[in-house]
Homo-oligomer: A and B are copies of this chain.
Amino acid sequence: MQKTLADIGEFGLINRIQKILNKKDCKLPEVTLGIGDDTAAFNPKSGFELLVTCDCLVEGTHFLPDYITPHELGRRAMAINISDIGAMGGRPLYALVSLGLNPQAPVKYIEDMYLGFLDELNPLEACIIGGNLTKTQKPLFIDITVIGEVEIGRKLLRSSAKPGDKILVTGYPGQSAAGLKILLNEGKSDGKNDHPLIRAYNTPSHRAKEGQAIAQSGCGGAMIDTSDGFLSDLRHICVESHVGADLVEDKFPISEALRDAAARLNCSPVEFFLQASDDYELIFTCTPENVNKIRSAVSAVSDVPVSEIGWISKSAGKIQIERRDGTLYRPDPSGWNHYQIKEENNV
């Protein structure tokens, strides 16, 4: 029978986590104290600001255990936090993992989650320095804090977009929402997790390297990640920068996979692109003369496509889209709003 948390106790679990970290975690000389005391401790580097963010996944709200493996869940929970550091142009350094766990949770499930966390952190030479374990009945929750750094003067805010700036986006927003729909339509994922859109939902890629390259180029304007959905996140830039946005539908990056899936699901690929979707791509702005410099900076570190899809206007808060036939429309904003029932997305 599989060992549960109740069998080995809190300190037994901490020992097992410590073993995984000793084997797989990066060792950073700046960390002066890791897991096992009242706090963790590290020496910040001079010349850098520190960035800090936290994000939480709750069973039943953000994931259903039957549809995602613990390793995927660990990757996803970590990637969405790394994404926020990347969206400032920063480099992720340290994570604290706070888990709400049922005493009947299998120990292996938790160990697999940790391996998932580390599979996202290791390539960035970032590490887990602390956390917390809490008993809860259902639902499981995973709350992660990530600390990163950015050179002083280089961080990219939501509030820095200027009229006339180009609007660019990485990758293919909307894929994750389509992946979720396929997952829910087709029932439990017995081997179906290999579908590229389901992968985009279960283990989204963050764009931390790309965000860092954009910030380091010195050519970026505003930046945000698409965690709420493209339109909702672009709206954050517009509101914080007191500007509007004119978009060209024909330029939206829509992957073949998304186009096929949308046809099969009898949905519009453009709607998938615009509305609530957990993709963790970057939306950013820059002056027209800097577009090529930023493209070069990104392509030096990544194969992810960067698409120019419109420009920032003076019309504060107004987002409009030009259709293929040249007509204009103002899209209905929805995106992810966790609490308003009528708009909520329950997984």
Contacts and interface: CB of A to CB of B under 8 A. Distances in A.
A94 interface: yes
Interface residues of A, number: 75
A135 B152 CA distance: 35
A129 to B, nearest CB: 7
Contacts of A327: none
A205 interface: no
Interface string A77-109: 000000011011010001010101101000000
Nearest to A4: B339
Contacts of A100: 56, 58, 141
A28 interface: no
Given A38-B88, A143-B98, A50 B52 contact: no
B56 A39 contact: no
A11 B337 contact: yes
A292 interface: no
A130 interface: yes
A266 interface: no
Interface stretch (A29-37, A176-184, A196-204, A297-305): A29-37
Given A130-B52, A339-B6, A341-B6, A88 B135 contact: no
Contacts of A88: 37-39, 41
A79 B150 CA distance: 30
A219 interface: no
B143 A33 contact: no
A339 B9 contact: yes
B56 A50 contact: no
B139 A54 contact: no
Interface string A106-132: 000000000000000000000001111
Interface string A305-347: 0000000000000000000000000000000011111011000
27 contacts: A9-B337, A10-B338, A10-B339, A32-B155, A33-B155, A37-B88, A37-B159, A38-B84, A38-B85, A38-B87, A39-B51, A39-B52, A39-B53, A39-B148, A41-B50, A41-B150, A43-B49, A44-B50, A53-B96, A54-B96, A54-B143, A54-B145, A58-B136, A100-B141, A134-B143, A135-B338, A141-B141
